[in-house]
């Protein structure tokens, strides 16, 4: 029944490793996002996909590669993990109707990534 689900909930790994976080939404939304929340709790957008197409890429290092096999899934792959990548990563989704405002975001429960 979970609307936006992401796995894993916790991810502990060594520097230099490659890891993936998966996200799925069953709300029928057109748009999915990845947000990063760092230790200072600041929530920053990383990517946004609309119907499998990238529409927002916020100057994230190219070690981060989002992949959307269909509009219900948006996975995040991270290569060569660095200490500074440690954060909580939130997946989210929303309807995208460019002429309509007040469309809210639905968030997954987050993935706590710790790079050692």
Partner 1 sequence: RKEVEQDPGPFNVPEGATVAFNCTYSNSASQSFFWYRQDCRKEPKLLMSVYSSGNEDGRFTAQLNRASQYISLLIRDSKLSDSATYLCVVNRDSYDKVIFGPGTSLSVIP
Positions in the binding site for partner 1 (CB under 8 A): 31, 35, 40-45, 48, 50, 55-56, 90, 94, 96, 98-99, 101-105, 107-110
Residue in this structure with the two tokens 């946004």, named with its chain if needed? 48
**Choice between 14 and 102, CB closer to partner 1:** 102
**Choice between 35 and 75, CB closer to partner 1:** 35
**Choice between 44 and 63, CB closer to partner 1:** 44
Nearest to 57 by CA among 89, 28, 104, 65: 65
Which pair of structure tokens corresponds to residue 87?
Answer: 């954060």
Reduced to 3 states (helix: H, G, I; strand: E, B; else coil), residue 85 is helix
**Choice between 17 and 51, CB closer to partner 1:** 51
3-class SS letters over 5-34: EEECCEEEECCCCCEEEEEEECCCCCEEEE
The least CB distance from residue 87 to partner 1, in Å, is 13
The least CB distance from residue 71 to partner 1, in Å, is 14
Beta bridge pairs of residue 5: 24
């Amino acid at each position: 029944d979970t609307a936006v689900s992401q796995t894993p909930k916790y991810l502990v790994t060594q520097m230099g490793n490659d890891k993936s976080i998966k996200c799925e939404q069953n709300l029928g939304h057109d748009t999915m996002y990845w947000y990063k929340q760092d230790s200072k709790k600041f929530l920053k957008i990383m990517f946004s996909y609309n119907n499998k197409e990238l529409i927002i890429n916020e100057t994230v290092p190219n070690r981060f590669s989002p992949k959307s096999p269909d509009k219900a899934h948006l996975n995040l792959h991270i290569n060569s993990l660095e200490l500074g990548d440690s954060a909580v990563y939130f997946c989210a989704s929303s309807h995208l109707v460019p002429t309509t405002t007040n469309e809210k975001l639905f968030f997954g429960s987050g993935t706590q990534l710790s790079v050692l």
